[in-house]
Structure 1
Amino acid sequence: MAHQARFKALVDWLHSAITPQEGFTLAYNAEASDFIRFNHAKVRQAGHVQQASLTFKLIENGRHADLSLTLSGDEAVDRERLSDALQHLRGTLPLLPPDPYLLLNDQVWQSTHVQERPLPASEQVVERIAQLGEGLDLVGIYAAGPIYRGFASDNGAFGWHQANSFNFDWSLFHANGQAVKANYAGDEWSDEAFAKRFALARDQLAFLGQPSHALAPGQYRAYLAPAALEEIMGMLCWGGFSAQSLADKRSPLQRLYDGQATLSPLVSLNEQVTGSLSPAFSGEGYPRSDLALVVEGAARDRLVDSRSAAEYGLTANGAGGGESPGALSLSGGSLLQDDVLKALGTGLYISNLWYLNFSDRTAGRITGMTRFATFWVEDGKIKGPVDTMRFDDSIFSLLGDALEQLTQERELSLSTSTYSQRQTDSSLLPGALVSKLTLTL
């Protein structure tokens, strides 16, 4: 039985099993994924994971309790597991107080999205990786296959999402221990696009063998590649657009949303659900739509889950419990990728950042380390690698007055997290040329 039919059968049974006083929400999560681990450009481990689970919420008189259960794929067995879960939650609810911030979506909605664009056979991908990586110390993980998400509630709301995707996360190591980190991900594999991405990493690897360039602390002109910019955006997703964090005055973008500061007019950020690999509904049962978070440097929408909506009198817009973007998109600019080094002139080419944290959260200050392929560039030419250094700078500078250009080309990044299951979170980002980045040590 197909995943959607399997889920629908369990929903139908639950409708018949609950009492008129009871309500429920049911969220379905499943995947059928190939995982292939590489070392020295050869397959060292390969496996296939097929799993499905439910998150079941029972509601009665303002009380609610949740329970997660693993599904077997056998309809009778799974129905029995759901029945046991129902009895368990019925015994739990009387022990709980009513939840003052429980805000259920009582609208009846239907949403179905099935993307079945075929992916290449994993054997074909392995062969391509082996060809391009021959003779290199390549390590990485390739994950691919369909991901399924479903939602249903007692009032008749029903959502289904199904999409194929792949994610190859790899590094090329130099004999001196340094490395170039790279990623290629999406829902449509292209040998040409992968070869181009691989060639960039291989070219950067050659520069790692040159003598390193020592830099003193100070401010430097810099280019942040999409992967480096993704780390900065990831920090902003820690409450930056969250209605809860903004109401509590803990958002790193507090000054932006309070109208005390702006970003560069080049910056337009969206929660771009349409066309992404994320479902068009939340696990709470609210439809998700595209949101304009920042428009030409000015704050616009914020992410609101049901609890924030109840607490602050807002309208829920499908945000998850952490009120973090699930399909973040930054509009591109006019700088062509082939012209990046020329436009940079003299300064830092930063491929990756890591170990980021807030140095002053409410002021929007971020600190972190350069990582792997960071190069010193003079007159538009790479001179050599730069040793790892710490930066500390304000998002209102990096994406504000210091931002000169964004690249026209953008890079899609899918979450590499596989804790419990593969994720659907994504970001679509350009590279950023900034006039100054502060290195502290």
Structure 2
Amino acid sequence: MTSSLTDRAHFDALADALCNAEGVDRVSLAFNAEASDFLRFNRAALRQATHVLQAQATLGVVRGARRAEASLVLSGDLAHDTRRLRDERARLARDLDVIADDPYLLLPAAASLSTREDAGALPSAQTVIDAVREHAAALDFVGFYAGGPVVRAYADSLGSRHWHRVESFHFGWCVYRSADKAVKTAYAGTHWDDAVFAARVREAATRACLLQRPPRRLQPGAYRAAFSPAAMSELLGALAWSGFSLKARRTGVSSLMQLAHGDARLHASLHLHEATAEGIAPAFTDDGFVKPASVTLIEGGCAIGTLNSPRSAREYFEAANGASPEELPEALSLGPGTLPHDQLLATLGTGLYVSNLWYLNYSDRQACRMTGMTRFACFWVEDGELAAPLDVMRFDDSFLRLFGQGLVGLTDRAELVPDTDTYQSRRLASITTPAAVVEGWRLTL
């Protein structure tokens, strides 16, 4: 029998067949699946079209303080997949005899249940192709579309059942001008609107025309700057590498050690949360822990909380709060400010408009000092108007300084920027952030 890998019936049947603790203390089943359309465009013409239907199950068995697990790619044939997973469960149970106790093993103590079904209004592949043909035919348009349902699910022998299915899309593209000059734009969400797509293509085309102007060459120094939500998501994404991890804090390698120790403080308007209830990531982990709706990480510019994985929680005698083993945020949300969104450039006045950042890394992790490059259509702004494109520049500055004393303000509207990684499978992580205006952003070359 073959069933759709993204339907709940397939997962429930696997869970019923596998989640019984025969000869072990606990059995768990983590499941992920997707049915995705991938479309690649060049010069506004379709160059590649792919549909991917795939699923993977991770089976775990526990006896005492010993745990073994394995992942299998599923075929969609329920009987065949069930036989393979039962055989794997038996093999894992035998492996427990030779596995050492894990002193940091922590698992949920009780069963839990949750269901989230977000049915979107996604375009067909043909709808996307037609939209590009209609709105971008005259442009050197290069883009990549990914869309469709993504599933995350969990079950165990305690009786836990979690189901998370969301339908979403992401379309990122560049309107190319010449040499290294291009305008990068994206449209993402759960409900496709042809008018919104058309408006964003028009805006990109208008800015691409500005790239014909002679570029403004800046000397190294400190400049007033406005960061778009896309640029902000790069900065916040780099901050997330170690900034909020409990283990990184306890071992002293977090980029926010100065903030945690009270030696530095961010601007009082800065409020940062792991806001699972507002994002598209599941509200449970692959181990069956339920995530809080929100975890406060920074409040009023001060460090408040951390992301605590089960292993770190046991090692450091803290409560687990639904963090992944890597203790990376999956629904990071920066609260909006008070600057009117449509007055971003007017608030900037004269300075840099930064649409995208690239190749970010730490130049001094202990000082939370980041470096990276501007990318695509970044502009010099005069009196609130885009005046000239900028040559690519490198920056090197402390996040703590930039968003502490350097923060002028955040806009009053936040934008969800999804993780666009499609290696192995589509992601459900996101960063929600407003745009920002800062003073004294340091360019080095």
TM-score with structure 2 length normalisation? 0.96
Q: Does the residue aligned with 2:297 lie in a helix, a strand or coil?
A: strand
Question: What's the counterpart of residue 405 of structure 2?
Answer: 401
Is 1:341 paired with 2:316? no
Q: What residue identity is the alignment partner of 1:233? A: L
Q: How does 1:385-400 map to 2 (within 5 A)?
A: 385-400=389-404
SS, match of residue 411 in structure 2: strand
Residues 139 and 205 of structure 2 are in contact (CA less than 8 Å); yes or no, is this contact kept in structure 1?
no
TM superposition shift of 1:132:
1.8
Structure 2 match to 1:121: 124
Asked whether the equivalents of residues 38 and 140 of structure 1 are also in contact (C-alpha less than 8 Å), the reply is yes
Unaligned 5+ runs, structure 2: none
Give the AA of the match of 1:315: A
Letter in 1 for 2:125: S
Per the alignment, residue 244 of structure 1 pairs with: 247
Q: In the alignment, what sits opposite 1:214?
A: 217
Corresponding residue to 2:92 among 89, 92, 95: 89
One of 244, 267, 272 as aligned partner of 2:270 = 267
Residue identity matched to 1:103: L
Q: Distance in 2 between the 1:249 and 1:188 partners? A: 43
What is the aligned counterpart of 2:330 among 304, 326, 333? 326
Trace 1:358-377 onto structure 2 (pairs within 5 A): 358-377=362-381
Q: Distance in 2 between matches of 1:71 and 1:212?
A: 53
- Residue in structure 1 matching 2:296, options 292, 295, 303: 292
Task: Choose 303-312 or 340-349, whichever is displaced more.
Answer: 340-349
Q: CA deviation at 1:118?
A: 2.6
Aligned residue type for 1:335: L
Instruction: State TM-score, norm by structure 1.
Output: 0.97
User: What is the CA-CA distance between 1:259 and the residue it aligns to?
Assistant: 2.2
Shift of 1:20: 4.7
Q: Distance in 2 between matches of 1:160 and 1:12?
A: 14
Counterpart CA distance in 2 for 1:283 and 1:362 is: 31
Q: Counterpart of 2:380 in 1: which secondary structure?
A: strand
Question: 1:221–1:435: 8 Å Cα contact kept in structure 2?
Answer: yes
Quote the Cα distance in structure 2 between the aligned partners of 1:261 and 1:42. Answer: 51
- Is 2:22 the counterpart of 1:6? no
Q: Which residue of 2 aligns with 1:424?
A: 428
Amino acid at match of 2:398: S
In structure 1, distance between residues paired with 2:242 and 2:193:
35
8 A Cα contact 2:19 2:28, kept in partner: no
Range 144-153 or range 272-281, more displaced: 272-281
Q: Distance in 1 between matches of 2:320 and 2:88?
A: 28
1:30-77 per-position Cα deviation (integer Å, ceiling 9, x unaligned): 000000000001111111100111011111121111100011111110
Instruction: Say if 1:199 and 1:335 are closer, same or farther in 2 by CA, change over 3 A.
Output: farther
Give, as a single letter, the amino acid of the residue that structure 1 aligns with 2:39. I
Residue 179 (str. 1) matches residue 176 (str. 2)? no
For residues 194 and 248 of structure 1, the distance between their equivalents in structure 2, rounded to whole angstroms, comes to 46
Partner of 1:382: 386
SS at match of 2:19: helix
Q: Tell me if structure 2 keeps the 8 A contact 1:284–1:320.
A: no
1:23 aligns with 2:26: yes
Match of 2:309 among 295, 305, 309: 305
Return 86-95 or 235-244, whichever deviates more: 86-95
Match of 1:140 among 119, 137, 143: 143
Q: Is the 8 A contact 2:180 2:376 kept in 1?
A: no
1:381 Cα deviation from its structure 2 partner = 2.1
**Alignment counterpart, residue 279 of structure 2, candidates 276, 281, 296:** 276
**In 2, distance between residues paired with 1:130 and 1:427?**
30
Query: Where has structure 1 moved over 4 Å in runs of 4 or more?
Result: none
- Distance in 2, Cα, partners of 1:120 & 1:173: 25
Whole-Å Cα distance in 1 between the matches of residues 124 and 375 of structure 2?
33
Asked whether the 8 Å contact 1:57–1:67 carries over to 2, the reply is yes
Distance in 1 between the 2:212 and 2:87 partners? 61
CA contact (8 A) 1:4 1:160 kept: yes
2:244 and 2:254 in contact (8 A); partners too: yes
Q: Give the structure 2 partner of residue 164 of structure 1.
A: 167
Deviates more, 1:200-209 or 1:43-52: 200-209
Classify the secondary structure of the residue corresponding to 2:134: helix
Alignment RMSD, CA only?
1.4
Q: Say which is worse superposed, 145-154 or 270-279, in terms of deviation.
A: 270-279
CA distance in structure 2 between the aligned counterparts of 1:323 and 1:286, rounded to whole angstroms: 14
What residue is the counterpart of 1:80 in the other structure?
A: 83
- CA displacement 1:208-249 (0-9 Å, x = unmatched): 111111111100010111111111001111011111111111
Q: Structure 1: which 5+ runs fail to align?
A: none
Identical aligned residues as a percent: 44
Query: What is the aligned residue count?
Result: 440
Offset of residue 205 of structure 1: 0.8
- Contact preservation (8 Å) 2:154, 2:162: yes
The amino acid that maps onto 1:203 is T
1:201 shift after superposition: 1.7
The letter for the 1-side match of 2:69 is: D
Structure 2 residue matching 1:106: 3-state secondary structure: coil
* Local SS of the residue matching 1:373: coil
* 8 Å contact kept, 2:372–2:396: yes
